[in-house]
Amino acid sequence: MNIIVVGIGKVGYTVAEQLAQEKHDVTIIDTNEEVINDTLQDIDVIGVIGNGAVSKTLLDAGIDECDMLIALTGSDELNILACLLAKKLGADSTIARVRNLEYSNDLKIIKDSLGLTMAVNPEKEAAAEIQRILKFPTARNVTFFGHDQVDILSFVANKSCSLTDKAIKDSFSKLKTQALACAVERNDEVFIPTGDFVVQEHDTLAVLTPTKTAPDFFKQIGYKMQDIKNIMIIGGGKIAMYLADSLSHINVNTTIIEKDLETAKNISDFFPHINVVHGDGTNRSLLLEEGLLEADAFICLTGIDEENIVLSLFAKNASPKIKTITKVNHTLFSEVIKTLDIDSVVYPKFTTADIIMKNVRAKQSGNERNDVQKLTRIINNRVEAVEFEVGADSQLIGKTLTELNIRKNILLGSITRGKDVIIPKGSDALCAGDTVVIVTSTERLLNLDDILE
C-alpha cells in the first residue's frame, strides 16, 4: 500500500520503520530537515520536508495516490487537520494521534465527523497496559484478547515455579486450569514451544489462559498473587493522568510525585481524591517520606528513560517485594534493560505501533471477516499474537486442527466462541464467528487462512 506518515518523532519513526519492513511504499513528512535526512539513512522510505497539514505538502507527498495517511505529530489539532485535508485530497483512510485528556471523551465524535479510520492515543494505551499489569502483578506484560476473555501473560520462570525443569506437556497436563505455553525466550533465542520443550530457570514464558482463571494459574505454578493497594507514581504527565483516571474507579491508594508546580496543581484539581506531591521524584528522602516502603507498586513515568530506570532499581533495592513498572521511550539499550531487576517495561511507541499496524493489515487484507482484529507483539516484541474472526468462507472450517496443515512456527492458541474460551486440542474444529488467537515468531499474517501451508 502507499502510506504517508506525518510527524517523525518516536512513534512516527517506529510506525514508518515497521511499515517499511512489511514492504509498504512509505512517504514520511516532517518540518525538521535533519529528522528527515536521519530517517532516510535508516529506513527505505521517501522523505518530504514540510507541514503535513498543508495541502501543497500533501500533494508533493502523493496524497492523491495514497491508501492511508497516518498523522503522528505532537499537535492533536495538526493531526486532525492533516487527516481532514488528506480525506478531501483523495486519501482512502486516515489515522490521527489524539493525546489530549480533554478530547478523550469526544474521540468517537471526532472520528465519525471527520471520517477517520481511527483516532489513537499512545498515552491512554500505555496507561491501559500498565493497569493490566497491575491486575496481574506477577506478570511482566499482559495482553487481552477474545473480547477481554483471554490473556497472554509473560513472566519469568524461577526456581519455585512448578514449570521449571519440566517438559511442557508434563507440567501443563497437571494444571487444573486451561493454559497453553505459546512462546519462550531464552537468552537471545525465541521459541514457539512443542510439548517436549523443557522450561529452564530464567526463561521468559508467554502463556495464554482464560482471563477468569489467570489468578488460579499463577497460584498453581507456585507464584503468590499479591493485591495492589498502594501505588506510587513518579511523573505527572499524560500517562499518569490517564492511569490516575482509571485507578480512581478501583479501591487503591495512589500517590503521584511531580516536580512541576502547575502540573501538580492540575492533577490535584482533576483528581482531588489522589495524594499529589509537588517535589522531585529523584529525592530519596522524599520517596521514603511519602511511603515508598509501604507501596505495593512503583511506576516511573518521567520523560527521561535513565531516570525511570535508576529510580526503579532504587525502589526494588529499598523494597524487594515492590512491583516496579518503568516507561521507556528509546530501545537502544533494551537488551541491557531486560537484564536489570525491573519487573515490567512499557514502551508506548510499540503499543501504538501495534494498534496502527493492526489497522493497516486489516485494510490490506480487504476482507470483512478472517482479517486482523487485534495485533500485539510479545516477548520483547519478537513474537506476534494476532486475533482473527473466523469468516464463513474460511478454509479452516469443518476440519479438526489435526487435519489442518499449519505452517511451522505458528500456533493456534485459543478459540473464543460466545462466552466460552477453548484452549484447543487436535480434535477441536473452528466455526464461523469464532475468534482465534494465532501466535507466530516468523510470519506477518494478514488473513487467518494464511496460517495454512
Span 178-202, pLDDT tens digits = 999 999 999 889 999 999 999 999 9
Which one of 195-209, 347-361, 372-386 scores highest in mean pLDDT? 195-209
Q: Please give the model's pTM, rounded to 2 decimal places.
A: 0.89
Q: Pairing mode, if any, of strands 275-278 and 230-234?
A: unpaired
CB atoms within 10 A of CB 273: 10
Q: What is the mean pLDDT of residues 211-230?
A: 91
Q: What is the pLDDT of residues 297-323, one digit of tens each?
A: 999 999 999 999 999 999 999 999 999
Q: What is the mean pLDDT of residues 28-41?
A: 96
**Residue 367 above 70 pLDDT?**
no
CATH superfamily of 230-320: NAD(P)-binding Rossmann-like Domain (3.40.50.720)
**Which CATH number does 370-451 carry?**
3.30.70.1450
Of 356, 352, 329, 276, nearest in space to 124 by CA: 352
Q: What is the mean pLDDT of residues 411-424?
A: 93
**Residue 408 above 60 pLDDT?**
yes
Q: What is the mean pLDDT of residues 130-155?
A: 91
- Cα 257-260-265 angle, rounded to 5 deg: 75
Higher pLDDT, residue 346 or 105: 346
| DSSP secondary structure of 108-125 | HHHHHHHT-SEEE-HHHH
pLDDT number for residue 330: 82
Same CATH topology for 2-120 and 230-320: the answer is: yes
Q: What is the 3-state secondary structure (H, E, C) of 295-342?
A: CCEEEECCCCHHHHHHHHHHHHHHCCCCEEEEECCCCCCHHHHCCCCC
Query: Is residue 303 exposed (0-12), middle (13-18) or buried (19+ Cβ within 10 Å)?
Result: exposed
Of 134, 143, 138, nearest in space to 383 by CA: 143
117: Cβ–Cβ under 8 A, 6 or more apart, which residues? 68, 93, 94, 95, 359, 363
Three-state SS at 270: helix
Q: What is the pLDDT of residues 338-351, one digit of tens each?
A: 788 999 999 999 99
Q: What is the pLDDT of residues 123-136, one digit of tens each?
A: 999 999 999 999 99
Q: Which residue has the cell 525491573?
A: 342
**Right CATH for 2-120 from 3.40.1160.10, 3.40.50.720, 3.30.200.20, 2.60.40.1930:** 3.40.50.720
DSSP bridge partners of 421? 416
378, 152 in Cβ contact below 8 A? Answer: yes
Q: What is the mean pLDDT of residues 100-105?
A: 73
Three-state SS at 401: coil
DSSP bridge partners of 300? 234, 326
pLDDT number for residue 181: 95
Please state the length of the chain.
453
pLDDT number for residue 366: 65
**Residue 291 above 60 pLDDT?**
yes
Q: Where are the domains of the chain?
A: 2-120, 230-320, 370-451
